[in-house]
Amino acid sequence: MIKRYLPYLKKYRVSCILGALSKWFEAFLELLVPLVMANVIDVGVARGDIGYVLWGGALMLAMGAVGFGCALFCQRSASIASQGFGTNVRNALFKHIDTLSYREIDKVGAASLVTRVTNDVTQMQSAVAMTIRLVVRSPFIAIGSVILCLILDWRIGLIVTAASVLVALVLWIIMKKSVPFYSKNQQKLDRLTQITNENLEGARVVRAFSNREKERARFGKAADDMLENSIVIGKISAWLNPLTYAVINFGVAVILLLSGFQVHAGRLSSGDIIAVINYMTQILNAMIVISNLVSLFTKANASMHRVSEVFDMQSCLADGAGCAPDFSAPAVEMKGVSFSYAGTDKYSLRGVDLSIERGQTVGIIGGTGSGKSTLVNLLPRLYDATVGEVKVFGRDVREYSLKELRFLFGVVPQNAALFSGTVRSNLFWGNDKATDEEFDEALKVACAYDFVYEKGGLDEKVAEGGRNFSGGQRQRLTIARAVAAKPEILILDDSCSALDFATDARVRANIAALENTTTILISQRASSIMNADKIFVLEDGKIAGTGRHGELYESCPLYREICDSQTRAEA
């Protein structure tokens, strides 16, 4: 799995190699320090040669200074490589998520995807930095210390080797026990992120219903779940340092006991004993670093699997080979279309047959959950029909490339989604080559021209989600964005619900005046679609009636009931 992420480091391979080499050289110098110290003790101190002692001290200071410089260079290289790696993975992950269909996004969840793009990639980024900085150094120090101890005295070297193997065994057991809990921790973080997002986006709803205490309790429960899991991880990880210290210190005690006999027998010098103790200390420090690395890499491993899960997802919407639309054919045709969302066998649409001619204005009405939005989502292939055939301008939607198909549509969703920036940058979403004059025309069609220029014109700032505009203003701006694209088919999914009746009527009249534009209006208001060329009435995913207003009022009980109920409500 690690191999799949190596290409993201390709651009920084020089930093990775030079950084690792500089850290390795620093570790090499650190291994030489105890030997120099032993030589100073056995020669300089034993003979009382102050000059030799000072020379040895100066040499160790020089080695320390060079090692410090190498460490700084490694730190810089690791920072460049890890930050670049994280940026590359995030960009690739975001690009891949953008290729997924609504079905895959619904399956994973928006909150989980946000956590994976941010927190999980950060964990992987930290692992890359630590790999360059410490993974090369710490094992080299530990193994090098063991080898040098074996060279000094094989008996003492065996004790050092046994202690090192025991510490490695402890690390492996701790890692094996804690890995599943780190994965769970990320899942619980997903849940925490989801609740946070819901409360931030729905803050007004929460306060309007005085549900702050309930939401705090829900957040608290999710936080407590994460806390409990983190405590389990902490309990397991808490064994690392005590066990490693115990093993190393016990090894030091045995070495001191054995070395005393070796010195007495003349097989070891005092300097050798000092060197061995220093090497044991270096092994202990290296093992402590490795134990911390185990914790970091365990988190990174869990994060890497979660990121890989997203990369492994493939959109169920296979891109078509591409084809040219036949504008002489009906704008939209559906034949025997049924659709069910992922994770359920219940069909939201069942056996839908319809035809819409080019240039017609069509209304779709029905009760909540009748399948209105689902139906129009099939046209630009936000989802694929489970059963049946969907055609746009005479071609099956699967034959178009996704870019070609969606270029034919201008969609105004139920949720009036604007992006931070300016009014102009939001309108560019519809047509990135449009002129200011074309934007002005689109704003006039959407009855948004006046309030936009009262506020500051096309350069007026748009806050996150368009929160500096009212609900009705946001809806009109999203309509203008779609109109600016000059689409062949314009879909308005209940996009005038926040407008008053007079403004709604003006917007519909302006849209009806657009040439060669097929308009599909979804509305809860019968008055909004009353003048449409054709009206489709949906009930429980089926078409309950088709025709003009007068025909449907006489022939379709459901449509008549909707009209009468709204007439009474308005009266």
Sorted by where each begins, the domain ranges of the chain are 2-312, 319-408+487-571, 419-484
pLDDT of residue 571: 46
79-131: per-residue pLDDT in tens? 999 999 999 999 999 999 888 877 788 777 777 788 889 888 998 999 899 88
- Is residue 31 scored above 50 in pLDDT? yes
Q: Which residue has the higher pLDDT, 475 or 155?
A: 475
- Is residue 504 scored above 80 in pLDDT? yes
Contact 366, 420 (CB under 8 A): no
User: Which region among 103-117, 259-273, 346-360, 515-529 has the lowest average model confidence (pLDDT)?
Assistant: 259-273
Phi-psi region of 229 (alpha: psi -120 to 50; beta: other; left: phi over 0): alpha
Rounded CA separation 156/143 (Å): 15
pLDDT of residue 216: 84
Contact 372, 492 (CB under 8 A): no
220-234: per-residue pLDDT in tens? 888 888 888 888 888
Contact 206, 213 (CB under 8 A): no
What does the CA dihedral 225, 228, 231, 232 come to, rounded to 10 degrees? -110
What does the CA dihedral 538, 539, 542, 546 come to, rounded to 10 degrees? -40
Mean pLDDT (whole number) for 498-526:
86
> How would residue 356 be classed by pLDDT, with cut points 50, 70 and 90?
very high
Q: Which of 143, 176, 175 is nearest to 160 (CA)?
A: 143
Identify the burial level of 285 via C-beta atoms within 10 angstroms of its C-beta, where 0-12 means exposed, 13-18 middle and 19 or more buried: middle
* Cα angle: 225, vertex 226, 231; to 5 degrees: 100
Contact 240, 293 (CB under 8 A): no
Does the domain made of 2-312 have the CATH classification 1.10.10.10? no
- If one counts every other C-beta atom within 10 angstroms of the C-beta of residue 250, the result is 13
Which residue is associated with the tokens 């065994």? 169
Amino acid at site 76: R
pLDDT of residue 568: 60
- Is residue 331 scored above 90 in pLDDT? yes
The pair of structure tokens assigned to 119 is 């927190």
Element holding 562 (H helix, E strand): helix 557-570
pLDDT of residue 247: 81
Which residue is associated with the tokens 């397991």? 236
pLDDT of residue 90: 94
Sheet containing strand 409-412, edge to edge, reads 409-412, 489-493, 518-522, 361-366, 534-539, 542-547
| CATH fold for domain 319-408+487-571 | Rossmann fold (3.40.50)
Q: Which residue has the higher pLDDT, 334 or 455?
A: 334
147-199: per-residue pLDDT in tens? 888 887 777 778 888 887 888 788 788 877 877 787 787 778 778 877 887 77
- In degrees and rounded to multiples of 5, residue 489 shows phi and psi of -125, 120
The pair of structure tokens assigned to 117 is 């793009």
Contact 117, 87 (CB under 8 A): no
pLDDT of residue 333: 94
* pTM for this model (two decimals): 0.71
Percent of the chain whose pLDDT exceeds 90 = 21
pLDDT of residue 266: 65
413-459: per-residue pLDDT in tens? 878 888 889 999 988 887 778 888 999 999 999 999 999 998 888 99
Rounded CA separation 351/544 (Å): 11
- In degrees and rounded to multiples of 5, residue 331 shows phi and psi of -65, -40
Handedness of CA 544, 547, 553, 554 (dihedral sign): negative
- Is residue 569 scored above 60 in pLDDT? no
- Is residue 204 scored above 70 in pLDDT? no
Rounded CA separation 462/464 (Å): 7
Average pLDDT, the chain: 85
248-287: per-residue pLDDT in tens? 778 778 877 777 666 666 666 777 778 877 887 787 778 7
- If one counts every other C-beta atom within 10 angstroms of the C-beta of residue 477, the result is 24
